[in-house]
Structure 1
Amino acid sequence: MKRLGHLNRDIARVLAGMGHTDSVVIADCGLPIPDGVECIDVSLTLGVPGFFDVLDSVLADFKVERAVFASESLTHNAAVVARMAQLRDAQVAVDEVPHETFKRLCQQAKAVIRTGECSPYANVILHSGVIF
């Protein structure tokens, strides 16, 4: 049994297969999953697991160079805005796009990790960096 990293075999598999600039989405429970994009559904009940629980777990195990959020989060989700600032402080490029654009960008993701989060616009597209 694994001692470190993700215990969820699907998340571990997707992260291990990521190349530079590939993307993975961490989504709230309401984001539509595009046809043809793998959905790793870790939701249990409303709010469990939360967006930040899953985001923190992925960030601990995955080199991110760019994060994309819906611009609507700037006025509808202060906690997401605070996390944007933390990512910028960690030298991650952070972009905001309209939610409709965000949903189109999800079509290019390797996978969407669906959480139980139920706060507005708690979604992010993470683009893989390189570790060398």
Structure 2
Amino acid sequence: MKRGKLLNSELNHAIGAMGHGDLMIVCDAGFPIPAHSWRIDLSITQDVPDLKTVLSAIADDFIAEKVSYADTLPDHNPILLETVRSLFSDADHEMIAHATILGDMASMAKVIVRTGAFDPWGNILLYSGVDVPNWFSKPGTVAPPEYAKKLKG
């Protein structure tokens, strides 16, 4: 049996299949998932599982270079925003229009993970990154400025 929190085999597979810059959306129960998308549906009933539980398990196994969420989240769901910022504190954070998440971003996602969350604007975009200290560990490699700051931690 594997170590770690994340037991769902399809979600483990999805994380393992992510390449640098690939997009995973972890969404609430009401998200309109495009028919062509790789959909991992974890929802059972209202708030089971919730976003915090799913995002926490993913954060342990997934390197997020950037995290995006609706520009309405700070005003309409600040508790969720604080959770996301806490779980992915090493990532860059960007707010985007909610309509863009529902349309363009949903169609660009490599995988969409549906939770049972009843969280307004609870759609979190996770962009896959690299393990910076390991990626730039060979002698003679030089990290570009955007990664160099992560080497000093």
TM-score bucket (shorter structure): over 0.9
Q: Quick one: distance in 1 between partners of 2:129 and 2:5? A: 18
Aligned length, in residue pairs: 131
TM-score, structure 1 as length reference? 0.92
Cα contact 1:68–1:126 (8 A) shared by 2: yes
Q: CA deviation at 1:84?
A: 4.3
Runs of 4+ aligned residues of structure 1 deviating over 3 Å after TM superposition are none
Q: CA deviation at 1:81?
A: 2.1
Q: Quick one: distance in 1 between partners of 2:4 and 2:82? A: 27
CA RMSD of aligned residues (A): 1.4
Q: Percent identity?
A: 32
Q: Which amino acid aligns with 2:120?
A: P
Instruction: Give the structure, 1 or 2, with the largest relative contact order (CA under 8 Å, sep 6 or more).
Output: 1
Match of 1:96 in 2: 95
TM-score, structure 2 as length reference? 0.80
Q: Quick one: distance in 2 between partners of 1:12 and 1:3? A: 12
Q: Quick one: distance in 2 between partners of 1:87 and 1:57? A: 10
Q: Quick one: distance in 1 between partners of 2:114 and 2:87? A: 21
Indicate whether 1:118 and 2:118 are aligned: yes
**1:69-120 Cα deviation digits (max 9, x unpaired):** 01111211011221344257x2211111111111221211111110000020
Larger radius of gyration: 2
Cα contact 1:106–1:125 (8 A) shared by 2: no
Structure 2 regions of 5+ residues with no counterpart? 136-153
Q: What pairs with 1:1-132 in structure 2 (closer than 5 Å)?
A: 1-86=1-86, 90-103=89-102, 104-131=104-131, 132=135
